[in-house]
Structure 1
Amino acid sequence: MPRKKAPEKPDFEQSMKALEQLVERLENGDLTLEESLQEFERGMVLTRQCQTLLEEAEQRVRILTEKNSLANFNGSGNDE
């Protein structure tokens, strides 16, 4: 039996767009209290996803920057 592919996590841009749309719906004031609470909860989940994605990107940049600094320190740069 073939394994089901795990659903992909939305990327940062998708999560931000969904969050912006959610904020618009909340700001319109047309939702019931229960709907507003559900949207707020969803917004919190999206916010955590965005924060996690940003932290992961920051870590990758830090690693790449450190590797480049080490390469230059070890003499692989064009220093005279």
Structure 2
Amino acid sequence: MPKKQTETNAATQPDFETAMAELEGLVQRMEGGELSLEDSLKEFERGVKLTRLCQEALKVAEQRVKLLSADGQESDFAPQGDA
């Protein structure tokens, strides 16, 4: 049975921390001002992809936290004794 497209892509995409580190390096290179226009555009395109990947990872993490909370509602994570 062939793998789904998303399963294949997930294996090749960096995790959140790796994507953030790459984004930070990318920003530093672009701010350095020594890239050609073409290289800047390539870096910008990569940055957009990494940003979307990070946003999706954060969205998934937020959904998981909501599922794990007792009532599924957004709330502050204060200790039970504090109300």
Offset at residue 10 of structure 1 (A): 1.2
For residues 23 and 16 of structure 1, the distance between their equivalents in structure 2, rounded to whole angstroms, comes to 11
Taking the TM superposition and a 5 Å limit, the aligned residue runs for 1:41-60 are 41-60=45-64
Taking the TM superposition and a 5 Å limit, the aligned residue runs for 1:12-51 are 12-51=16-55
Offset at residue 27 of structure 1 (A): 0.3
Identity, in percent, stands at: 53
For residues 22 and 32 of structure 1, the distance between their equivalents in structure 2, rounded to whole angstroms, comes to 14
Q: Which has the higher helix share?
A: 1
1:63 aligns with 2:71: no
Asked which structure has the greater RCO (Cα within 8 Å, sep 6+), the reply is: 1
* Structure with larger Rg: 1
Q: Aligned residue pairs: how many?
A: 65
Structure 1: state its 5+ residue gaps: 71-80
Q: TM-score, normalised by structure 1?
A: 0.73
